[in-house]
Amino acid sequence: MPYESGFLNGLDAFFNIAGQAGFWLVLAIFLMLTADAIREIYLLATALNSMPIAVLIMRGANYPVLFAFWALVHITLCVYAAALAGNIFKFELPDEPRWRTIGAQIGAGIYVAIGWALILLIRMASTGSPPAGISDANHAVPSLILFTLPLAIPTHFFLTWLLLRVRFTEALVAWLLQGVATLLSIGVLTLLWFAERALLPRLLA
């Protein structure tokens, strides 16, 4: 370990536990997003009087599939990326590297979560409708991601450095390799998105 101090060890333990708690919070948020998507699909199906069952399943499964991809595929790729950096610099990953990777990513995404919660509370206060507040907050997520990116990137690097417990250069390489894994994941999700967009008109025809 490149550092051993009570403060840093405590900080490491805090973010490691917070990452595990954050994982279940993210799951709860995705379940909420799924429920809101199903509500919107139901309203649309009611307005159109009918909708193919395949379309209902496809649209309703978007958020569960996205969460499963993040938790099972993307996180795994990032752990392998950190392990590759370990092979290059001859260091071993600390215990529970998956939770540490999740903790770093959730810590970087906390700004989006805060923005989402603020929009939800403001809209609920102004409209008095929880479903409307949730829907508005959900639709603001892409903008929140772009707006908070300048904060999220350095936060993710700092937490990667802290939770992997490696030296600066080692953390930088591990972080850059995880960035490559992230681009790969974005590429796969983009292909899936285009495939869905291409398939929907045929199902609706």
CA angle, corner 171, sides to 25 and 156, nearest 5?
30
pLDDT at 38: 80
How far is residue 128's CA from residue 147's CA, in Å, rounded to a whole number? 27
Which three-class secondary structure string do you get for 103-168? Answer: HHHHHHCHHHHHHHHHHHHHHHHHHCCHHHHHHHHHHCHHHHHHHHHHHHHHHHHHHHHHHHCCCH
pLDDT at 31: 86
Helices 130-139 and 6-48, axial angle in degrees (round to 10) = 110
How far is residue 127's CA from residue 153's CA, in Å, rounded to a whole number? 34
The tens digit of pLDDT for each residue in 112-137 reads 889 988 988 888 888 777 777 777 88
pLDDT at 183: 94
How far is residue 148's CA from residue 9's CA, in Å, rounded to a whole number? 28
Q: Which two tokens stand for residue 110?
A: 């906390």
pLDDT at 17: 83
How far is residue 198's CA from residue 203's CA, in Å, rounded to a whole number? 10
pLDDT at 205: 62
pLDDT at 30: 85
How far is residue 54's CA from residue 33's CA, in Å, rounded to a whole number? 20
The tens digit of pLDDT for each residue in 64-77 reads 889 999 999 999 99
Whole-prediction pTM: 0.82
For the chain, list residues with pLDDT below 50: none
pLDDT at 59: 72
How far is residue 157's CA from residue 172's CA, in Å, rounded to a whole number? 7
